[in-house]
């Protein structure tokens, strides 16, 4: 069996860098979506403090979507490789709306 460097579990998430608080659990919950081919978290940078994890879609790329994850005083780029960026965007937005509704 071919072993992919920096990957484990379902093999869609690349674990080359550390992840901000809460991001790993969130990514592991969506990595099984059929629209997602690969998830590549970037480096962590400092930002204004946020009370909880927030993922926002920045823009589509040639291979999928560029997202920004924010948690605490950290921010991290997350690249999601997909052939269906519009479908994935709708699904992520629906997930976000459910969480907002559930916390009210």
* Residue-level pLDDT at 8: 56
pTM, 2 dp = 0.82
Per-residue pLDDT of the chain (104 residues; tens, 9 = 90+): 444 455 555 589 998 878 999 999 999 999 999 999 999 999 999 988 888 899 999 999 999 999 999 999 999 999 999 999 999 999 999 987 766 444 43
Full domain range(s) for residue 35: 23-103
In a domain, 13, yes or no: no
User: In angstroms, what is the C-alpha Rg of the chain?
Assistant: 14
Distance between CA atoms of 65 and 84, rounded to whole angstroms? 10
Domain membership of residue 65 (yes or no) is: yes
- Calpha distance 31→9 (Å, rounded): 10
Tally of domains within the chain? 1
What average pLDDT is seen over the chain? 85
Domain-located, residue 44:
yes
């Amino acid at each position: 069996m071919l072993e992919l460097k920096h990957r484990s579990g379902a093999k869609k998430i690349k674990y080359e860098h550390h992840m901000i608080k809460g991001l790993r659990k969130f990514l592991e919950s969506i990595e099984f979506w059929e629209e997602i081919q690969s998830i590549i978290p970037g480096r962590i940078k400092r930002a204004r403090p946020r009370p909880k994890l927030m993922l926002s879609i920045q823009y589509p790329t040639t291979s999928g979507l560029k997202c920004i994850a924010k948690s605490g005083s950290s921010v991290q780029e997350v690249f999601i490789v997909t052939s269906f960026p519009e479908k994935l965007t709708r699904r992520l937005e629906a997930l976000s709306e459910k969480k907002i509704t559930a916390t009210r």
